[in-house]
Amino acid sequence: MKSRNFFSNENIDPYRNDPKINSALHNAYLLNYSEFMDWYSHPNVRTSRRISGKRNLESDNEEVHKMHKDSLKQIANEVCEKKIDAQYGISSILNLNFEKFDILVAVAPDYDILKKKGSDVTTKTALKNKTKHILGFIIVEKGECKMFPDFYTVNLICARSKVEYKKYGKHASLKRQRIRGAILLGAYLFCAKRINQTMGLLELADGYKNISGFFSYSKMGFVKDLSLFDRKCFKDYANLPMSININDYSYEQIINYASGLDKIRDMNDETGLIYLVPKTPRQQALQVQISGLCNLTYQIDYILNGSYALDVKLDKNEIKFLQELEDYYIDQDPHYDFNTDDYLNYIYDSMDNLIEEFKSASKSRTRSSSRSKMSAGSNITKKHLCK
């Protein structure tokens, strides 16, 4: 099977064979496109279909091919745990038919034993077992951003939070392991550097409201990059374009960050969201509210001037916030011609109030009592943002 260029053995081997990455993988393994397809698509198993008591190889092959295709579609839903749009996930998987796409797959320990155990199960069962052994994957696309036609962007990255694979062999007694998304993202940065790509590019789906994604990307050095909002690059401002200057990082640094042995000290997040780590349910709720306002800090200009299409509509809380913001200024002066800066000032003031409440929130303070101690200025935030 023809291999792909990005996660080729030449590019990925120095990364996946590094002792630090091996240790962080906990006996899991990273398979590139050709290795994954060889393992996943050609099981040495029997099919359950028989015609007139005899095997019909042509019909069996058609059925196996259909099973493979259906099972590949299911990978995105299962591994991404329905956290992404189903159709987008399916499209990303099926896009692997095109050479400008490449994939790296993290599989559970002793994944290769499934081949040896495949002779006594049906193809459908074998594929189901293999899918459970997929812990995560990353799909990249060349030229998605036409501003940089030779650069690969992150098309989709997913890692299971709940693992359910069967343990085999010498690792059977070990606890089932999850894969850190940072390891997959580190593989992308490592291989991009190997092919002399100077920038890493991606769109954060749902922007800051995708809190886990924002934290993951930020911890690997990605920062907001609105210059990528362009008709030749990323058009959907419901997402947040992010980039990283790969030249700023050595191979060793990428490996250290991906394996968790080191951390980036300054993650260059002007919103401050990256430093808000909730420890209580109230703080978690406030974090969600703040993330919505973080989105508006960069979306508001596009919302007002209609420069770009919005594929994902604003949620009802955002719409209500903007409407009441306008009402607030109209109440001050019915003829006031407010502009983008007025919106931004209001949004940032509201964020500041919520951040202060986040910092003061604790287990002993109930939702109602913490609200009662908000300042008069914070009442604006309460009016517009409380769910």
> If we measure between CA atoms, which residue out of 298, 274, 204 comes closest to residue 242?
204
Residues 131, 251, single domain; the answer is yes
Residues 177, 33, single domain; the answer is yes
Report which listed range, 80-84, 171-175, 202-206, 305-309, is most confident.
Answer: 202-206
Residues 282, 225, single domain; the answer is no
Query: What percent of the chain is predicted at pLDDT more than 70?
Result: 76
Report which listed range, 12-16, 115-119, 160-164, is most confident.
Answer: 12-16
Average pLDDT, integer, range 274-300: 92
Residues 153, 77, single domain; the answer is yes
pLDDT at 276: 94
Tally of domains in the chain: 2
Instruction: Look at phi and psi of residue 338 and say left if phi exceeds 0, alpha if psi is from -120 to 50, else beta.
Output: beta
Would you say residue 44 has pLDDT above 50?
no
The full DSSP string for 172-208 is: TTSPP-PPPHHHHHHHHHHHHHHTT--EEEEEETTGG
pLDDT at 137: 94
Report which listed range, 2-11, 247-256, 363-372, is most confident.
Answer: 247-256
The two three-digit tokens of residue 46, written as one number: 């029997």
- Where residue 386 falls among pLDDT bands split at 50, 70, 90? very low
Report which listed range, 41-55, 104-118, 269-283, is most confident.
Answer: 269-283
CATH number of the domain residue 33 falls in: 3.40.630.30
pLDDT at 235: 86
Residues 279, 139, single domain; the answer is no
- Where residue 103 falls among pLDDT bands split at 50, 70, 90? very high
* Share of the chain residues as helix, strand and coil, in percent rounded to the nearest 5: 50, 10, 35
| CA 5 centroid distance within chain | 22
DSSP category for residue 166: P
Residues 179, 235, single domain; the answer is yes
Dihedral of CA atoms 159, 256, 268, 143 in degrees, nearest 10, equals -60
pLDDT at 240: 94
Would you say residue 164 has pLDDT above 70?
yes
Which residue range forms the structural domain that includes residue 99? 1-269
Average pLDDT, integer, range 69-94: 75
What is the SS3 assignment for 342?
helix
User: Regarding predicted confidence, which is higher, 246 or 91?
Assistant: 246
Query: What percent of the chain is predicted at pLDDT more than 90?
Result: 46
Residues 21, 150, single domain; the answer is yes
- DSSP E strands in the chain: the ranges are 29-32, 101-107, 134-142, 152-159, 199-204, 223-224, 240-245
The two three-digit tokens of residue 136, written as one number: 């995560």
Residues 262, 277, single domain; the answer is no
- pLDDT tens digits, residue range 325-348? 777 767 777 776 777 888 888 889
> If we measure between CA atoms, which residue out of 310, 236, 224, 237 comes closest to residue 271?
224
- Based on the number of CB atoms within 10 Å of its own CB, is 71 exposed (0-12), middle (13-18) or buried (19 or more)? buried
- Contact indicator for 137, 157 with CB cutoff of 8 Å: yes
Sign of CA dihedral 223, 224, 225, 231: positive
Q: Which of 225, 246, 269 is the last residue of a domain?
A: 269
Paired with 54 in beta bridges are 51
Residues contacting residue 180 through CB under 8 Å, at least 6 positions apart: 24, 159, 258, 260
pLDDT at 363: 53
Q: Which of 213, 234, 269 is the last residue of a domain?
A: 269
pLDDT at 387: 25
What is the SS3 assignment for 38?
helix
- Where residue 13 falls among pLDDT bands split at 50, 70, 90? very high
Report which listed range, 110-124, 208-222, 339-353, is most confident.
Answer: 208-222
Q: Which of 235, 269, 303 is the last residue of a domain?
A: 269
* Residue corresponding to tokens 């606890």: 175
What's the whole-number average pLDDT of the chain?
81
Q: What is the CA radius of gyration of the chain?
A: 24
Residues 99, 237, single domain; the answer is yes
Distance CA 115, CA 97 (A): 24
- Where residue 225 falls among pLDDT bands split at 50, 70, 90? very high
Would you say residue 215 has pLDDT above 70?
yes
Residues 43, 116, single domain; the answer is yes
Distance CA 41, CA 25 (A): 24
Average pLDDT, integer, range 232-254: 94
pLDDT at 308: 46
Residues 240, 362, single domain; the answer is no
Residues 143, 278, single domain; the answer is no
Please indicate, yes or no, whether the overall pTM of this predicted structure exceeds 0.95: no
Would you say residue 31 has pLDDT above 60?
yes
